[in-house]
């Protein structure tokens, strides 16, 4: 059964040419509008959820097997079957949070920092800093980042995109928005590897440390593949420079937040 009164679009009352016209010429809504029944719900499920699932699997598979080619395809407009990178990023961020809640008691950022060798035990060198209070401040900052992991990830994207754009200056000439897309795909790739490693942490305590370095190596490989036929060793050096800047800036940003929290705790 369809909802079509007097040959008008149900959404904006624009005249339509009966069932043969698939979309309203004014608002773009599919026409005719169908009454919501079991057939309608089944059709929506198939086209909304299942089609998106296929796109997710296609994109994730490409990011593991042929990452540079998949990213280049998206940048150059060959986007059929792919999920939008920001949507894919948010989905994988949610997967990381869920996996970390189950296997790491929800400590996503703290586990990443520990795996990368930036734990709180080293933050006690200053004579004027109370180590216990600083540890409490870092724990508070880490807790905030755990609870806002998706937002924290999105906040880091512009920084990483800028660092990579500068390190690959005049090479391939992607603009800044395109670098945001490239960075989103690389972050998704890291999240995939992280999710696979989290369950192994229970039996292999160094699993997360290894996956941090594996993710870095895989991102470098992805960029080298993306910029082919530019020499791979030059791409690798440029990528390492960009990621080095990002890691340093992220550490500095985390410490700035920790010191702000530390100052507030001192005043309390």
How is the chain split into domains, by residue range? 85-267
Residue 120, H or E segment? none
Residue count of the chain: 268
- Number of other residues whose CB lies within 10 A of the CB of residue 24: 21
DSSP annotation of 48? I
Taking 50 as the pLDDT cut, the residues of the chain under it are 1-4, 50, 116-127
Structure confidence at residue 265 (pLDDT): 79
Can you give the pLDDT at residue 110? Answer: 55
DSSP string, 158-177: HHHHHHHHHHTTTSS---HH
Give the separation between CA 65 and CA 57, rounded to whole angstroms.
12
Beta-carbon contacts of 241 under 8 Å, excluding residues fewer than 6 positions away, are 167
Give residue 190's Cα distance to chain centre: 8
SS3 8: strand
User: Would you state the pLDDT for residue 169?
Assistant: 86
Phi and psi angles of residue 30, each rounded to the nearest 5 degrees, phi first: -55, 135
Token readout for 134 is 């600083």
Q: Cis omega before residue 46 (within 30°)?
A: no
Instruction: Tell me what pLDDT residue 75 has.
Output: 92
Q: Are 229 and 239 in contact (CB under 8 A)?
A: no
Give the pLDDT score at 71. 94
Angstrom distance (rounded) from CA 58 to CA 48: 16
Q: Given CA atoms 34, 36, 39, 40 in this order, what sign does their dihedral have?
A: positive
* Residue the block writes with tokens 């010191």: 259
For 155, residues 6+ apart whose C-beta sits below 8 A from its C-beta are: none
């Amino acid at each position: 059964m369809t909802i079509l009164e007097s040959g008008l679009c149900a959404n904006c009352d624009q005249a339509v040419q009966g069932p043969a016209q698939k979309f309203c010429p004014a608002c773009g809504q599919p026409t005719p509008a169908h009454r919501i029944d079991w057939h309608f719900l089944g059709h929506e499920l198939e086209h909304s959820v299942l089609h998106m699932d296929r796109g997710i699997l296609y994109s994730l598979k490409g990011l593991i097997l042929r990452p540079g080619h998949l990213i280049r395809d998206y940048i150059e407009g060959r986007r059929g079957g792919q999920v939008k990178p920001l949507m894919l990023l948010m989905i994988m961020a949610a997967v990381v949070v869920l996996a970390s809640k189950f296997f790491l008691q929800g400590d996503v950022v703290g586990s990443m920092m520990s795996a990368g060798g930036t734990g709180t035990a080293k933050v006690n060198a200053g004579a004027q800093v109370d180590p216990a209070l600083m540890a409490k401040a870092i724990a508070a900052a880490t807790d905030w980042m755990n609870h806002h992991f998706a937002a924290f990830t999105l906040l880091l994207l512009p920084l990483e995109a800028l660092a990579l754009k500068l390190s690959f200056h005049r090479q391939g000439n992607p603009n800044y928005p395109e670098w945001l897309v490239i960075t989103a795909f690389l972050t998704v790739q890291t999240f995939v590897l992280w999710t696979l490693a989290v369950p192994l942490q229970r039996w292999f305590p160094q699993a997360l440390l290894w996956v941090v370095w594996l993710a870095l190596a895989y991102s470098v490989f992805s960029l080298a593949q993306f910029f082919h036929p530019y020499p791979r060793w030059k791409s690798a050096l440029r990528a390492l420079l960009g990621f080095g800047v990002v890691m340093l800036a992220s550490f500095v940003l985390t410490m700035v937040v920790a010191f702000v929290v530390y100052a507030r705790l001192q005043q309390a």
